[in-house]
Every structure is written in C-alpha cells, then in structure tokens.
C-alpha cells in the first residue's frame, strides 16, 4: 500500500511539473550577438568606405550581424569584390560563391555575405553558420 501512495505522489509531482516545462521561453543567448559583432570587427574596411553602421537581427534561433559602409562615388562593385577576395582568403575564409557584386564565404562554421548595392557595401555574418 505504501508503494502505491509513493507512486501516486510521484505521478502527481510529475503531472504538476510537466505543464511548466513548456511555459518558459528559451532565454536569448547573449553570446551570439557578441560573436557576430566580433566577426564583423575582423573584416577589413574597403579603402574610402565610411560611416559604418552595425545592426543585428534574426529569429527562430538564428541570428546575424550586419555592417553597412558608404562607398566613395563611382566605386566599381567588381573592384570592391576583387579587393576582398584575397584578404578574406588570407584570413581563412573560403569563397563559395561570387555573382553580381556579391560574394559568399565560409570559415569553419561561420558564414559571410558581402555585397555592393549602389554606394552601400554590406557585410552580413553569422558566427554559428546557417
């Protein structure tokens, strides 16, 4: 009889505890945005690029960091990309794609997309990968 009472008490405790498990939302990982910001800080700035603006975003467990620079007037997007490719490779990045003023690269699990749109140079990174 004692065994049944203990079993029932255990089941009751379990029943009370289980609903609370789903109530808590996962806490934001403060190291993720910091890792993205550190990754952006490692990128060299194109000569003449000015006024960098850094932003962060994401959702569903994936976050990214972005930095935009203003390029000098009449900057050729392909010249910017050509300037970055050897520098990224020296820093351990593997260029995985290149098209229309944009490059994509990987380093270990980290991802980088670098693109020129008009006079804006934008770098988007994910320190934990896609």
Token output for 14: 């379990």
The answer for residues whose C-beta is within 8 angstroms of residue 64's C-beta and 6 or more apart is 36, 56, 57, 58, 124, 125, 126
3-class SS of residue 124: strand
Low-confidence ranges of the chain (pLDDT < 50): 1, 5-7, 9-27
User: What residues does 125 pair with on adjacent strands?
Assistant: 65, 112
pLDDT tens column, 96-129: 999 989 999 999 999 999 999 999 999 999 998 8
Question: What's the confidence (pLDDT) of residue 82?
Answer: 96
Question: What's the confidence (pLDDT) of residue 48?
Answer: 96
Residue 55's nearest CA partner among 66, 63, 71 is 66
């Amino acid at each position: 009889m004692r065994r049944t009472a203990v079993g029932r008490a255990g089941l009751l405790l379990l029943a009370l505890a289980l609903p609370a498990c789903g109530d808590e939302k996962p806490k934001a990982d403060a190291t993720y945005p910091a890792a993205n910001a550190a990754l952006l800080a490692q990128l060299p700035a194109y000569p003449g690029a000015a006024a960098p603006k850094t932003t962060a975003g994401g959702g569903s467990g994936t976050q990214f960091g972005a930095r935009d620079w203003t390029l000098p007037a009449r900057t050729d997007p392909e010249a910017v990309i050509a300037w970055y490719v050897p520098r990224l490779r020296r820093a351990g990045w593997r260029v995985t794609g290149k098209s229309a003023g944009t490059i994509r690269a990987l380093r270990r699990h980290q991802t980088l997309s670098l693109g020129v749109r008009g006079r804006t140079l934008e770098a988007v990174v994910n320190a934990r990968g896609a």
